Amino acid sequence: IEKCGIIKPDVPVVASSTDYEIIKVIADSAQKNGSDVYFNGKDYYYSIVGDDERGYFFEYYNIRTGINYNKLYLPSRPVHQVKNASAAITALLLTSEAGFTNITGEIIASGIKEVTLKGRFQIISERPLIIFDAAHNYEALKNLFNAVDNLYGKMNLRIILSIMDDKLNDDVINLFAERGDFIIYYVFDDNRLYIPENNKFNIVTSD
């Protein structure tokens, strides 16, 4: 609901979520503002056709315009980044329609190919495997763990974790509990930070 605050009157909206409840909130807010909405799976969609050690090959199709890009490559993981990239493509096409005619399919494809997302499934080391990710809520953490399991097989992880107090809800706690990973909780100076209590995590350190 808070994020719907960015919806402005008569400005097109691109929504990547396929969750019914989220879609309904976005649609209602857009209608109040007289804004047209492009929904993932309804007005545009993507299809992953392959992958390699760095990212994904995918196709993009815009149902409203008939524009189809079938040779796109995104050097980023995990898989939900393809969804994000498809939403970005849709926004770029709308920008092109608004008069920025220098935004072409070739430019979009080359831009997607050069994407780097530091702090998003960033491989710090291959041996030992060290992954840095700024996942900060339940959905992001779930996507991160699924990506690790799918790419490297299910294993017990050693996690260095810090999380803001308003992000540590029951879903997040249950997610960690179900996995049973060894967690080192790092405490730093921020009054928004959650401070563990009752031995919720294995090790707490500020060193």
Q: What is the pLDDT of residues 154-175, one digit of tens each?
A: 888 999 999 999 998 899 989 9
Residue 66: how many CB atoms within 10 A of its CB?
A: 7
Confidence of residue 207 (pLDDT cuts 50, 70, 90): low
Q: What is the pLDDT of residue 205?
A: 79
Is residue 202 over pLDDT 80?
A: no
Is residue 179 over pLDDT 90?
A: no
| Mean pLDDT for all residues in the chain | 88
The crossing angle, in degrees rounded to 10, of helices 80-97 and 105-113 is 150
Q: What number is the average pLDDT over the span 14-40?
A: 90
Rounded distance between C-alpha atoms, residue 93 and residue 99, angstroms: 10
| 28 three-state secondary structure | helix
Is residue 104 over pLDDT 70?
A: yes
Is residue 6 over pLDDT 80?
A: no
136: left (phi over 0), alpha (psi -120 to 50) or beta: alpha
Is residue 1 over pLDDT 60?
A: no
Residue 190: how many CB atoms within 10 A of its CB?
A: 10
Q: What is the pLDDT of residue 2?
A: 58
124 phi and psi angles, rounded to 5 deg: -80, -35
Is residue 201 over pLDDT 90?
A: no
Q: What number is the average pLDDT over the span 112-126?
A: 87
Q: What is the pLDDT of residue 136?
A: 85
49-99, pLDDT tens digit by residue?
A: 998 878 899 999 999 999 999 989 999 888 889 999 999 999 999 998 887
Global pTM value:
0.74
User: 160, 186 in Cβ contact below 8 A?
Assistant: yes
Q: What is the pLDDT of residue 79?
A: 85
Confidence of residue 101 (pLDDT cuts 50, 70, 90): confident
Q: What is the pLDDT of residue 107?
A: 92
